[in-house]
Amino acid sequence: MIKDVSYAAYVYPVRENNGTKEFAVLRYPNGYTKYGALGGRLEPGDKDSRDNLRRELIEECGQCAAFLADDAIEIPVHEILDVAPERIKIRNAYKEDHTWFVVKLSKNTNLEFTEPTKPNVKIVWLPITQFLDNKICYTKEKRAYCERYILPVLEQI
């Protein structure tokens, strides 16, 4: 049965690298035109969004990344999306409710994507000046949300 709403939690890690503020995203294999954020959908057993994020970070980066969920700043306004009609069966929901987090890491910190089922996915660091790029914020609505709620936090921490 298709749900009315699917819940998910995502994070943008931020670091300073040689004087440049950068944020981390997932780069998918060749042919995929967009980047993704670390995190994923709420699953049974997740107590809340932060618990969801912790589980996803452990799945994607290993146990050593669990602390990121504890240190992350939660963006207080959720991103609510209508699922495109052709993706409703894939996403198993008509709407998505995304809780976003931002976490500051120590200078020059590196993260590694280690989820064995996705061997071609990598974590890449991009300058914060590219945050509103079409490959990150790929719809007008997403760009407006990111510019209003996430970018100010990325710039401040």
Give the residue extent of every domain in the chain: 3-156
For residue 146, what are the contacts with CB-CB under 8 A and spacing of at least 6?
A: 131, 132, 136, 137
> Right CATH number for 3-156 from 3.20.20.150, 3.20.20.70, 3.30.1540.20, 3.90.79.10?
3.90.79.10
- In whole angstroms, how far apart are CA 88 and each of 28, 51, 91, 155? 22, 25, 5, 34
d(CA 84, CA 125): 29
Determine the pLDDT at residue 29.
83
Q: Contact 17/108 with Cβ under 8 angstroms? A: yes
Question: How much is the pTM?
Answer: 0.92
Determine the pLDDT at residue 143.
94
What type of residue sits at position 94? Y
107 or 99, which is more confident? 99
- Residue 14 pLDDT > 80, yes or no? yes
Determine the pLDDT at residue 146.
95
d(CA 12, CA 101): 6
- Residue 107 pLDDT > 90, yes or no? no
- In whole angstroms, how far apart are CA 85 and each of 63, 77, 125? 36, 25, 32
54 or 33, which is more confident? 54
Determine the pLDDT at residue 117.
84
How sure is the predictor about 31, in pLDDT bands with cuts at 50, 70 and 90? low
